[in-house]
């Protein structure tokens, strides 16, 4: 497959997943969303390291073109759906920070590496993880 075709396919999938994720965040109860995220994988694909890089690139590109920059949960949900579709185990992490007002943040981890988004540093406190449990 040509590089240009591959880029287009990943960008289209990321855009569609992002639209679905935004719709889900607005219209679906959070308990149902996180129950879906927490479901175990039906199949596992351990040999798809380059897929993770492509998904990260596609989600970052869609996020950069988004008119609103503070949509970390839909971006994380879209990335999780793309990873899950390929059988790659991932973890959706949620965190909060209290400054002037309460702020929330979400990102995706595969193994111990942050794939989509960032952890927010010391500003955010992790409160929940959904998906594959963390290995100790």
The model's pLDDT over 76-128, given as tens digits with 9 standing for 90+, comes to 999 999 998 888 888 999 999 877 778 888 989 888 788 877 777 778 888 88
Q: Which two tokens stand for residue 113?
A: 């590496």
- pLDDT attached to residue 100: 75
pTM of the model: 0.86
Helix, strand, coil % (nearest 5) of the chain? 50, 20, 30
CB 117 within 8 A of CB 63: no
């Amino acid at each position: 497959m040509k590089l240009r075709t591959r880029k287009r396919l990943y960008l289209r999938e990321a855009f569609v997943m992002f639209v679905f994720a935004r719709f889900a965040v607005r219209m679906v109860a959070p308990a149902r969303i996180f129950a879906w995220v927490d479901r175990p994988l039906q199949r596992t694909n351990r040999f798809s390291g380059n897929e993770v890089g492509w998904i990260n690139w596609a989600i970052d590109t869609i996020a950069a073109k988004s008119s609103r920059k503070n949509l970390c949960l839909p971006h994380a949900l879209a990335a999780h759906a793309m990873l899950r579709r390929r059988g790659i185990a991932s973890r959706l992490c949620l965190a909060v920070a209290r400054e002037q007002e309460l702020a929330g943040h979400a990102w995706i981890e595969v193994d111990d590496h942050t794939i989509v988004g960032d952890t927010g540093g010391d500003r955010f406190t992790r409160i929940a993880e959904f998906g594959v449990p963390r290995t100790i």
